[in-house]
Amino acid sequence: MFGGVFARGSAIIDDRAWLQAMLDAEAGLARALERAGLAPAGTGGAVTRAARAADFDIAELGELSALTGNPVPGLARALARQVGGQPGRVVHRGATSQDILDTAAMLLAAVAIDATRADLTAAAAAAAELAREHRPTPMIGRTLLQQAVPVTFGAVAAGWLAGLDAAISGLTLVRDTRLAVQFGGPAGTLASLGPDGIRVKAMLADELGLADPPLPWHTERLRIIDVGAASARVTAALSKIARDVTLLAQTEVAEVAEGAGTDTGSGSPDGGAAPRRGGSSAMPNKVNPVAAVAVLGCAKQAPGLLATLVAAAEQEHQRAAGAWHAEWQPYGQLLQVAASAASWGAELLANLEVDTGKMAANLSAAGGLPLAERVSALLRTAIGGPEAHDLVATAAAKAATSGVPLRDILLADPDLEEKLTRAGITQADIEQALDPAGYLGAAADFTDAALAAHEGGISW
């Protein structure tokens, strides 16, 4: 029911994905045992051919998991039956349930990270294009949701870009250094395989494309946390962008809008027109920022999911009683919402419509108030810092309540006019100080720096 929002993109981390990852782990183990000379020739191929999720009953495996506290024992028996003969007797040899589930978790992370990283890369490319295009575009800056000094939309997009690049860097670090096979047997010693255990562990890692850690990590859960944290960082970077878009897309602001995005279907169930992107079930006039809202819906789930993984990291002795089990669902869900958010984010930025005219109109409608800081600095030379600040603050309050531009309020003050004349400050100087284009500081330089870092593959 909710998959269109929370299970978007090419990485779907559902029951079938978990099942296939566990089967892949079992098949990899069979191949490793054959390579080590501990299983007859052809065993690995036979198990691998049988290890197809479509041939197993997920509901039945779920019911069997109630007997053992996890789904692996039932799966191992079902796979052995599916393989049959001598190869079937090799299934799961030397392993414990946690070996298979933890290894499956690492395989899922590899799939999810690759998909998420691809979508983030597309989102970053779109953000970079926005930054380049709008490098000089002035707009109102906003702090604490109130108007502040002017900024550029290029600098805003550059900030989005920097966050995306950092999220990509975090995913890459985890993908390259933290995804490791789990293989230790019942208590982390591989005793049942004798002197061959270490070799089989290395071969299993090689078969599955995972790192071979120095020892099993059954109750050392930092790898799980690292995967979760990298995923949560993805949603954090994307949620900042999505929140900005929802605020800038408000009817009263209207500085950006979501483009059409992906087609939602060919028609309604009753044969009418296709559902309209952003439409409301009650208000025909509505055009909601669906992609941004979906990103936020994914991102809001991430902190709680990550917190559960961190809380579950305290695991006793050689096998946890409950804490390991508590990881399974939030781990998969966190991978899923990060992948989904990245897919939505790529679409959001690729189709974002920027209304530079509305940005200029909003800046003009502010009546010069965003430039109060600059005017205060100008007046400081004539009347002193504290007095200049207080005078401009009073004038700004009058401008805000009366709707009269700050320029007119200032120039209508005869006492100030006299002081400005003595200081050699002209009306033209006041008007220049109120020009937003002249008070953008290092916005263009910061934008260029973010673009250079992006193009050089640097994340700060």
Count, residues in the chain: 460
Q: Helix, strand, coil: what percent of the chain each, to 5?
A: 65, 5, 30
Residue 208 has which token pair?
Answer: 């599955």
Alpha helices in 181-257 (DSSP H): 197-208, 222-248
Cα distances from 430 to residues 152, 334, 422, 439, in angstroms, run: 22, 54, 15, 13
Residue 12 has which token pair?
Answer: 């779907």
CB distance 258 to 353 below 8 Å: yes
Residue 46 has which token pair?
Answer: 């036979």
Alpha helices in 51-196 (DSSP H): 58-68, 72-83, 85-90, 97-133, 153-177
Among residues 97, 101, 231, which one has the least CA distance to residue 173?
231
Query: Which DSSP symbol is given to 149?
Result: E
Would you name the residues annotated as active-site residues?
280, 319
Cα distances from 238 to residues 10, 341, 347, in angstroms, run: 18, 7, 12
Among residues 295, 323, 97, which one has the least CA distance to residue 224?
323
CB distance 226 to 171 below 8 Å: no
Per-residue exposure over 338-364, b if at least 16 CB sit within 10 Å of its own CB, e if not: bbbbbbbbbbbbbbbebbeebbeebbe
Cα Rg of the chain (Å, integer) = 30
CB distance 133 to 155 below 8 Å: no
CB distance 244 to 210 below 8 Å: no
Read off φ and ψ for residue 149, nearest 5 degrees: -70, 160
Task: Report the alpha-carbon distance of residue 44 to residue 87 in Å, rounded.
Answer: 8
